[in-house]
């Protein structure tokens, strides 16, 4: 990997652990294996490194969303898939997605960095809400709307239903971020959540 790219990687790791202000350029340089002044041949300032990470973050979200079909463009089609799955399969899918977001290094570091920097400027606050609330909620909302219209799910406001499905998952994810040693316990709770949701919201044709 190029030095320029490796600087971004190591900086992201450090920023996600300590926050921007607690990371010194010398630390980033050391992690990369060079001295601090060399770093300035690649980026003109520490802030410039942060901005580059943010740019990367924005474009990577699009890639990731496309990968997971979570860009909101095809929720109807996904709903068609969901409508065929059993409760066990729903659990498997939910857990799989959860594990991906929990363990994917890139995703986890982005999430932590945005978490600790969210109040440092309004642009980051908006990005945070979009990424971890708006986008997933709008996608799931579209999916639940389709499922409701087919009578597979109880006929409730899909936006609220999405909130009730997603918010617990997100809370458990952030708990795992803080206390990774509790992953097993929290994952079990996640599974219970999905099963109970499926029972409570299932229409005649239980999903």
Q: Does 31 bind DNA (CB under 7 A)?
A: no
Instruction: Find which of DNA, a second copy, none residue 3 binds, CB within 5 to 8 Å per kind.
Output: DNA
Determine the distance from the C-alpha atom of residue 123 to the mean position of all C-alpha atoms in its chain, rounded to a whole number: 18
Give the count of residues interacting with a second copy (CB under 8 A).
43
Number of residues that bind DNA (CB under 7 A): 19
Contacting residues for 196 by C-beta, under 8 A, at least 6 apart: none
CA distance 105 to 164: 27
**By CB under 8 A, is residue 22 in contact with a second copy?**
yes
As measured in angstroms, the least distance from the Cβ of 119 to DNA is 18
Structure tokens at 122: 């309004």
- Identify the DSSP state of 182: G
Under DSSP, the state recorded for 131 is I
- Interacting residue with a second copy among 64, 138, 148, 161 (CB under 8 A): 161
Q: If DSSP codes are grouped into helix, strand and coil, which group holds residue 202?
A: strand
Report how far apart the first and last C-alpha atoms of the chain are (Å, whole number). Answer: 45
Footprint on this chain of a second copy (rule: CB under 8 A) = 16-19, 21-22, 112, 115-120, 125-126, 128-129, 133, 154, 156-157, 159-161, 163-164, 167-168, 170-172, 175, 177-179, 189, 192-193, 196-197, 199-201
Footprint on this chain of DNA (rule: CB under 7 A) = 3, 23-26, 29, 33-38, 40-42, 44-47
């Amino acid at each position: 990997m190029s030095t320029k790219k490796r600087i971004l990687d190591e900086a992201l790791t450090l920023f996600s652990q300590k926050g921007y202000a607690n990371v010194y350029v010398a630390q980033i340089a050391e992690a990369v294996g060079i001295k601090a002044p060399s770093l300035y041949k690649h980026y003109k300032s520490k802030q410039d490194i942060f901005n580059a990470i943010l740019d990367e973050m924005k474009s990577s979200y699009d890639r990731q969303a496309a990968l997971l079909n979570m860009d909101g463009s095809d929720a109807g089609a996904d709903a068609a898939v969901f409508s065929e799955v059993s409760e066990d399969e729903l659990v498997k899918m939910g857990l799989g997605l959860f594990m991906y977001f929990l363990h994917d290094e890139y995703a986890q570091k982005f999430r932590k960095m945005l978490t600790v920097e969210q109040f440092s400027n309004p642009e980051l606050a908006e990005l945070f809400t979009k990424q971890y609330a708006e986008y997933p909620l709008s996608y799931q909302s579209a999916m639940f709307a389709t499922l409701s219209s087919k009578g597979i799910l109880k006929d409730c406001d899909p936006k609220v239903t999405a909130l009730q499905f997603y918010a617990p998952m997100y809370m458990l994810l952030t708990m795992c971020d803080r206390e990774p040693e509790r992953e097993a316990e929290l994952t079990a709770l996640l599974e219970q959540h999905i099963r109970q949701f499926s029972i409570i919201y299932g229409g005649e044709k239980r999903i």
